[in-house]
Structure 1
Amino acid sequence: MIFYFTGTGNSLYAANAIAEAQGEQLISIPAEMDRKQEVYSYEQKDGELLGFVFPVYAWGPPAIVLDFVSKLRVTGKPYVFSLCTCGDEEGQSTRMLAKNLAASGIVLKSSFALRMPNNYVVGFDVDSKDLEERKLKEAEETLREINGIISRRESAHRNIPGRFPRLKTRVVNPLFNRFAMDTKKFYADDKCISCGLCEKVCPVHTIKVETKPVWGKACTQCLACIHRCPVRAIQMGKGTEQKGRYLHPDLKRLEKQHTLK
């Protein structure tokens, strides 16, 4: 059983690569959270696989992931792993997740960080095509190694904390969660065709398309609405207008595959 959260497909790709190799079920965290349960309970046998795959947002796990973990209750003693995808480094994201899992009585056995193409176009830009292709190729090789470790149920921690991880996760991440979630800067420009895709892909259902999309207050900063707009109509402030867009090349196939299951 592998729980995942994704915005532009990087984490879905990684979670699927592990699920297929291990013969495990993939479960979307936003889809589970849509059930509006106070507690999410699962039964597992000793040694069964329990995984958490998610992107890094400002050197920490997305708030929706930590919220889900806080409501999680698992019986048995599964082999627990985490994998975070990041553009360059994760800070103390894994440590933060491990602490939250421990509060729910779950011990993290192994953890991994996987570099993937950048997509946070609010503060940065997407990677060049050459760098994007290199990261994707290296990710395939790294995932093969990770699957070997998981298959053997080894204890391993292959993380990418980067420089000043404590400062970034403990200082910058709380500020990000407090101030960056404001949806007031989102808008759709005149290219908008009112297709409704942004409403469909929003993991917290904050977007409602009338003539043009309208944003509520909830947000995870996944930026799926920006990257997945087919006509590049969705912006956040003025800074994203000239920035690139990124989706994992297998995203549509993977979504279709798991929707049909």
Structure 2
Amino acid sequence: MIFYFSGTGNSSHVAKSIASITDDKLISISKDLIEAKERYQMDEGENLGFVFPVYWYSLPSIVEKFLKQLNIEGYQNQYVYAIATYGFAGGNVMKQLTGILKEHKIPLKGKFGVKMVDNYVVGYSLANRKKQEIIKKEANVMIEEIGRIITKKTQAEMIHKGKLAFVSPLTGYAYKNAKHTHKFYTTKDCNSCGLCEKNCPCNVIHLVDGKPSWEGDCTFCLRCLHSCNKTAIQYGKATLKRERYTYSLPIK
């Protein structure tokens, strides 16, 4: 059983690749899933995995909320692992995750990280296409190695925390308390297709007079911005001249 969250497809690719190795079923985390408050039954010998991106050296808020209300039945010391994807480093995200799982009396035995193409165009430009392909190829090698370790159910920690991991509590606090939706807007290029509304994992986008409106707050995955076919969704002025990126578009 693999629970995963993905904004622009990096973590989705990792989760699907691992599932193809371990033959585990995939469950995508969304607001709808959280509100369903389902119970999940683990079978004997079944793995429990979590795959997610790192936001500001922290768990995405949607993932944290899901984990805190996680209801797992049948856990009897099965192998539990997590894979964080990031463009720079993972910070202390595994420490954060370990603490949450500890509340459920579930120890985290495998802690892994995979460097992927950084999509945070709110802060900086994307790597060029050649560099992106290099990153993807290196990531696939790492994914295969992680898959072998998971298959053997080996306790391991393979994640680049980065030199600034110690600031994780501060960046995590800033991330949780920021109002992420207030700078989103659309340009005249918007064609009212509704893709952003359909695919928002937090259900905060609604079409008003044919144009997207962000109501409430979100997990700041940037799926809407990167997946817009017309590049009509912007975030302040920073994204106006920056390219977009999706590994493959995750569909809710």
TM-score tier after normalising by the smaller chain length: over 0.9
8 Å Cα contact 2:58-2:93 kept in structure 1: yes
Partner of 1:214: 213
Aligned partner of 1:70 in structure 2 is: 68
Q: What amino acid maps onto 1:220 in structure 2? A: T
1:103 CA drift (Å): 1.1
Q: What CA distance in whole angstroms lies between the structure 1 residues aligned with 2:164 and 2:153? A: 31
Q: Higher relative contact order at CA 8 Å, sep ≥6: structure 1 or structure 2?
A: 2
For 1:175-226, what per-residue CA distance to the aligned partner results, in whole angstroms no more than 9, with x for missing partners?
A: 12211x3312110010000000000111011001132101101211000010
> What is the CA RMSD across the aligned residues, in angstroms?
1.5
Where do residues 14-25 of structure 1 align in structure 2 (5 Å cutoff)?
14-25=14-25
Corresponding residue SS for 2:71: strand
The alignment partner of 1:72 has SS state of coil
1:236 is matched with 235
Secondary structure in 2 aligned to 1:48?
Answer: coil
The answer to whether structure 1 residue 140 and structure 2 residue 129 are counterparts is no
- Number of aligned residues: 249
Q: TM-score, normalised by structure 2?
A: 0.94
Asked if the contact 1:101–1:107 (Cα under 8 Å) also holds between the matched residues in 2, the reply is yes
Q: Deviation digits for residues 74-120 of structure 1, max 9, x if unmatched?
A: 23222100001000101001111111111122110101000000101
The question of whether the paired residues in 1 share the 8 Å contact of 2:52 and 2:85 is answered with yes
Moved more, 218-227 or 73-82: 73-82
Q: CA deviation at 1:125?
A: 1.7
| Change over 3 Å in CA distance of 1:32–1:191 after alignment to 2 | closer
Matched with 2:41 is: 43
Report the Cα distance in structure 1 between the residues aligned to 2:236 and 2:161, rounded to whole angstroms. Answer: 30
CA contact (8 A) 1:4 1:28 kept: yes
Partners of 2:233 and 2:206 lie apart in 1 by: 13
The answer to which of 70-79 and 141-150 deviates more is 70-79
Structure 1 segments of 4+ aligned residues over 6 angstroms from their partners: none
Instruction: Name stretches of at least 5 consecutive residues in structure 2 with no aligned partner.
Output: none
**Contact preservation (8 Å) 1:73, 1:105:** no
Q: 8 Å contact 2:234–2:240 — kept in the other structure?
A: yes
**Alignment TM-score, normalising by the size of structure 1:** 0.91
Cross-structure match for 1:175:
174
Query: 1:191 maps to which residue?
Result: 189
Identity of aligned residues (%): 37
1:210-252: CA deviation from partner (whole Å, max 9, x where unpaired): 321011012110000100000000001111101110000xx25
Residue 108 of structure 1 corresponds to 108
CA contact (8 A) 1:56 1:84 kept: yes
Q: Give the corresponding residue for 2:160.
A: 160
Which of 52, 56, 74 lines up with 1:54 in the alignment? 52
Which residue number corresponds to residue 203 of structure 1? 201
Query: Distance in 1 between the 2:35 and 2:57 partners?
Result: 28
Give 1:66's aligned amino acid: E
